[in-house]
Amino acid sequence: MFLRPLVLALLLAVVSAPSAWADERGQAKKQVEFGIQVAQRGLWKEAIYRWERAAQLDPTYAAAFNNLAVAYEHEGQLAKARDAYEKALRLEPNNSLVRQNYDLFKEINDRAAQKDGR
């Protein structure tokens, strides 16, 4: 008798979990798309804000981290860019577009590191 509400609650949680996840992904996707629009107009700071928001909403969304990395790179924040690229690659290790971005980034980052004697 006592178990019935508990089972019901659990069932409800299991059933609603994917829809909550879909909702977060949907919101994150909107932020990502808006971020792309503003980045294309050169408003990189606003784009960073949007993509950071997307990454908070859905920490499993590789595109948000990839875009964030690109924006950090554009702003010269190379350490942050590296972290974001690595996070994106951990989430989607086989994503060739993220890999390509990361390889191009590394080329520049290594050059900068060489200059700093790091």
Partner 1 sequence: MTARLRKTAGSLVLALIAVLTACTSYTEIPIETPIQPKLDVSPFQRIFIAGFIAGANDDVDANMETVRLLRSQLRNKGVMRVIDADTLPLMDIARQQNGADGTAAPVPDQQAVQPPQDDKPPVINDEKDLEQYQHIFANTAYWKKIGEEYQQPLIVTGSILFAPQQRSGFVQREQESYDPFGRRVVTPVRTYMERKGFVLRPTFVFIDGRTGETLHSETFREEVLYNANQQTPALSSYFELMDRLLPAFLNTLSAQKIKGTRTLLK
Candidates 31, 48, 66, 89; binder of partner 1 (CB under 8 A) is: 66
Burial class (CB in 10 A: 0-12, 13-18, 19+), 73: buried
Candidates 36, 38, 43, 91; binder of partner 1 (CB under 8 A) is: 36
Residue nearer to partner 1 on the CB measure, 36 or 49: 36
Alpha carbons 34 and 55: distance in angstroms, whole number: 14
Sign of CA dihedral 13, 60, 47, 75: positive
One DSSP character per residue, 35-55 reads HHHHHHTT-HHHHHHHHHHHH
Alpha carbons 96 and 55: distance in angstroms, whole number: 20
* Choices 3-11, 13-21, 63-71; region in contact with partner 1 by CB under 8 A: 63-71
62 binds partner 1 (CB under 8 A): yes
Distances (CA, A) of 34 to 41, 55, 56, 116: 11, 14, 15, 36
Candidates 1, 19, 76, 94; binder of partner 1 (CB under 8 A) is: 76
Shortest distance in whole angstroms from residue 98 CB to partner 1:
7
104 binds partner 1 (CB under 8 A): yes
Residue ranges binding partner 1 (CB under 8 A): 29, 32-33, 36, 39-40, 62-63, 66-67, 70, 73-76, 78, 95, 97-98, 100-101, 104-105, 108, 111-112, 115-116
